[in-house]
Amino acid sequence: MTKDTHTIEASNLAKRFGDVVAVDSVTFDVRPGELFGFLGPNGAGKTTTINMLTGLARADTGSIRIGGIDCTDRPRAAQHLIGVVPDESNLYPELTGFENLCFCAALYGLGKADRQGRAKELLEGFGLTNAAGRKFSGYSRGMKRKLTIAAGIIHKPEILFLDEPTTGIDVASARQLRQLIADLHRAGTTIFLTTHYIEEAERLCGRIAFIVSGRIVRIDTVEHLIQPVQEKHVVQIACANMPDDIRDKLCGSFPGLEFTTQGQGLIRVESGEPVRVGPLVRFLEEQGGEVAEARRMRPSLEDIFVQITGIEADAMRKEKEKAGGGQ
Amino acid sequence: MKPWIAFWNILVKDMRTYYLKPPNISWGLIFPLAWTGMFFIKSGSGLESIMALLPGVVAVSILFGTTSMLAVTVTFEKKNRSFERLLLAPIPFELLMLAKTSGAILFGVANAFVPVVMAAFLADLSLIAWSVFVPAVFMIAVASTFLGLFIAVAVSEVFEAQTFSNFFRFPMIFLCGLFFPIEKLPVFLKPLSYALPLTYGADVLHGAVHGGHAMPFILDLSLLGAFCVGLFAVSLWNIKRKWIL
């Protein structure tokens, strides 16, 4: 593989399940050493795309190249190059953590000494040494995710596919996993990451594709994606007892500002110029409102995601948490 | 990449995780014992009937042992998605499935020798043609395992696999000449008998144990081999079609 070769190239990928179009004309490439994010809501086509790239599903149309190998007609041709961490922890419940890792290493042809050494190294690196002798079925969710990631990199793959790695685990474990992902990226592994956590994608990824209803609606670097909103000034005000027509009143009184009411007594104020909070607070109190808090918001990828896809990030997160447990 | 490392470890893992578990070992012992007792009582004859019953009991032990286990190992792993780990391994698909079925084949062979060991205490086995008996046991185990694979791939739940496999297994007890000679079956059932792999395996076993066989051994074993290849090929095709969507 030369420096210029794209590590993953997907061109016009499409996949239907009966009448449902899961993936529709998806085209993108991932460069060597890149951490590429695939961001979208539940059912957007993220897992189907990963399955097609890793040989667990066949594309109806389109082409796939992994590490320069054409996998379009031979979906399993590049499996020696890749590691996969699926969206569910699917190791063997009857085996211990150590046995699971050794078994996964054996699937990639590692000799006994090598696989035992690598398993110990990863168990230590992931903070699971004390649980090495326990059956996988007795692990907590966070531990299961960590061991599943360890199993995905046991053979030191050039390319790692991570499908929703932090979904359904506690905040501390999620933070630890993000650190592990960042470390793998720094070590030179090309990573394809699907997530519905926008902050996670923003924090970890170099480039991001937004996928909605099976179609990629935007691909760019995080810097380029955020640029349009970075010039904006945003203030969020928490205010109780607001009259129903408060938005109209605010728009009439502050013509240079854009207002959005967000439910639960929140008002979002946007402007190309710095927003003066004092007059806004006074106005709201004159209207009978009780202002609890007013804070400047750092414009984020979430704003862009909402703008492009029309999907509220909160709704996406709640929907996923309902399906897979909270983070 | 050394594919044999993957092959060996899949086999060892399955043996440890599924086949060498106490419930399965006891199943392998109790089941042939129950069959032997049942037919022994039914025949109403003395110990001299053991040699006539042995081929059928051996064949049934292999058939039920292999098909039951494979339904669990493959269907269960497909259900909890750990089978995806195997599908992601960079080894040839055919080798992967052979590794996955090898444990069941060995389990079937081991089951076959349980009634043989029991019979050794009650009858003289010195006249058995072991050079024919052992290959026949192995071939029946392979064919039954691939039949189990075919069934496991066709369903999505473990209980469905058990139900579906009974659809094949119970008719085979009566149609394949295990305990009732095919010649005595109604004419319209005979073609069905010859469409089932166990018919040829049972014929070899009868020939090896007491000399009463209908077809030449080489023909029986060749047809059994053809069933093995056919069932394996159809199962692989089904996995690629149904599981690699």
Per-residue pLDDT, averaged over A273-291, amounts to 90
| CATH code of A118's domain | 3.40.50.300
CA distance B10 to chain A (A): 8
Instruction: Return the bridge partners of A39, or none.
Output: A195, A210
Q: Which of B2, B91, B244 sits opposite A57 (nearest CB)?
A: B244
A321 domain-assigned: no
Q: How many domains does chain A have?
A: 2
| Chain A residues closer than 8 Å to B14 by CB | none
Q: What percent of chain A has pLDDT over 70?
A: 94
A55/B88 Cβ within 8 A = yes
pLDDT tier for residue A318 given thresholds of 50, 70 and 90: low
Question: Quick one: A222 and A276 in the same domain?
Answer: no
Angle between helical axes of B217-242 and B197-210 (0-180°, round to 10): 150
Main-chain dihedrals φ then ψ at residue A33, nearest 5 degrees: 80, 5
- Contact (Cβ atoms closer than 8 angstroms) between residue A157 and residue A81: yes
A240 domain-assigned: yes
CA quadruple A120, A122, A128, A131: dihedral sign: negative
Position A1 scores a pLDDT of 45
Question: Quick one: A152 and A184 in the same domain?
Answer: yes
A323 vs B91 pLDDT, higher one: B91
Q: Which of A75, A94, A107 sits opposite B17 (nearest CB)?
A: A94
Q: How confident is the prediction for chain A on average, in pLDDT?
A: 88
Per-residue pLDDT, averaged over B158-167, amounts to 83
Q: How confident is the prediction for chain B on average, in pLDDT?
A: 88
Which of A116-125, B26-35, B157-166, B219-228 has the weakest average pLDDT?
Answer: B26-35
pLDDT in tens, A103-116: 999 999 999 999 99
Complex-level ipTM: 0.87
B13/A109 Cβ within 8 A = no
A326 has a pLDDT exceeding 80 = no
- B5 close to A (CB below 8 A): yes
A111/B82 Cβ within 8 A = no
Q: Which residue of B has its CA nearest to A16?
A: B245
Question: Quick one: A65 and A170 in the same domain?
Answer: yes
pLDDT in tens, B118-134: 888 888 888 899 999 99
A103/B1 Cβ within 8 A = no
- B21 close to A (CB below 8 A): no
Which amino acid appears at position B104 of this protein? Answer: A
- B11 close to A (CB below 8 A): no
Domain span at residue A215 reads: 8-227
Q: Which of A17, A58, A107 sits opposite B89 (nearest CB)?
A: A107
How many other CB atoms sit within 10 Å of the CB of residue A262? 12
Position B30 scores a pLDDT of 80
Please list, residue by residue across A213-249, b when 16 or more beta carbons sit within 10 angstroms of its beta carbon and e when fewer do. Answer: ebebebbeebeebbeebeeeebbebebeebeeebeeb
Per-residue pLDDT, averaged over B133-143, amounts to 97
Question: Quick one: A245 and A218 in the same domain?
Answer: no
Position A87 scores a pLDDT of 87
β-strands A20-30, A8-17 pairing? antiparallel
A171 domain-assigned: yes
Kindly report the three-state secondary structure assignment for every residue of chain A: CCCCCCCEEEEEEEEEECCEEEEEEEEEEECCCCEEEEECCCCCCHHHHHHHHHCCCCCCEEEEEECCEECCCCCCCCCCCEEEECCCCCCCCCCEHHHHHHHHHHHCCCCHHHHHHHHHHHHHHCCCHHHCCCEHHHCCHHHHHHHHHHHHCCCCCCEEEEECCCCCCCHHHHHHHHHHHHHHHHCCCEEEEEECCHHHHHHHCCEEEEEECCEEEEEEEHHHHHHHHHCCEEEEEEEECCCCCHHHHHHHHCCCCEEEECCCCEEEEEECCCCCHHHHHHHHHHCCCEEEEEEEECCCHHHHHHHHHCCCHHHHHHHHHHHHCCC
| Chain B residues closer than 8 Å to A92 by CB | 13, 17, 82
Give the whole-angstrom CA distance, residue B83 versus residue B100: 10
Per-residue pLDDT, averaged over A26-43, amounts to 92
C-alpha R_g of chain B: 18
B1/A86 Cβ within 8 A = no
Question: Quick one: A223 and A285 in the same domain?
Answer: no
Looking at residue B157, the DSSP 8-state letter turns out to be S
Per-residue pLDDT, averaged over A215-220, amounts to 93
DSSP, collapsed to helix, strand or coil, labels residue B213 as coil
Per-residue pLDDT, averaged over B157-185, amounts to 86
Per-residue pLDDT, averaged over A68-79, amounts to 87
Listed in sequence order, the DSSP H helices in chain B are 3-14, 22-43, 50-79, 83-87, 93-120, 130-154, 158-175, 190-194, 197-210, 217-242
Question: Quick one: A13 and A141 in the same domain?
Answer: yes
Position A315 scores a pLDDT of 62
A186 domain-assigned: yes
Last residue of a domain, one of A227, A248, A263: A227
Question: Quick one: A220 and A150 in the same domain?
Answer: yes
Question: Quick one: A64 and A129 in the same domain?
Answer: yes
A125 domain-assigned: yes
Give the whole-angstrom CA distance, residue A69 versus residue A60: 19
A139 domain-assigned: yes
Per-residue pLDDT, averaged over A73-82, amounts to 87
Give the whole-angstrom CA distance, residue A214 versus residue A41: 10
Question: Quick one: A256 and A220 in the same domain?
Answer: no
Strand order in A233-240's β-sheet? A258-261, A266-271, A233-240, A290-297
A98 has a pLDDT exceeding 90 = yes
A25 vs B163 pLDDT, higher one: A25
Last residue of a domain, one of A227, A247, A265: A227
Q: Which of B3, B5, B89 sits opposite A79 (nearest CB)?
A: B89
CA A27 to chain centre: 18
Give the whole-angstrom CA distance, residue B188 versus residue A132: 61
Position A73 scores a pLDDT of 82
A56/B5 Cβ within 8 A = no
B1/A108 Cβ within 8 A = yes
Which of A43-47, A95-99, B9-13, B44-48 has the weakest average pLDDT?
Answer: B44-48
CA quadruple B127, B132, B135, B136: dihedral sign: negative
Give the whole-angstrom CA distance, residue A302 versus residue A169: 21
Question: Quick one: A71 and A180 in the same domain?
Answer: yes
Give the whole-angstrom CA distance, residue B172 versus residue B167: 9
Torsion of CA B119, B121, B127, B131, to 10 degrees: 60
A140 has a pLDDT exceeding 80 = yes
- B239 close to A (CB below 8 A): no
Give the whole-angstrom CA distance, residue B230 versus residue A37: 44
A20 domain-assigned: yes
Q: Which of B82, B87, B90 sits opposite A91 (nearest CB)?
A: B82
pLDDT in tens, A142-180: 899 999 999 999 999 999 999 988 887 788 888 888 998
Question: Quick one: A17 and A138 in the same domain?
Answer: yes
| Chain A residues closer than 8 Å to B93 by CB | 76
A36 has a pLDDT exceeding 50 = yes
Question: Quick one: A18 and A73 in the same domain?
Answer: yes
A322 domain-assigned: no
Position A312 scores a pLDDT of 66
Position A274 scores a pLDDT of 86
| CATH code of A248's domain | 3.30.70
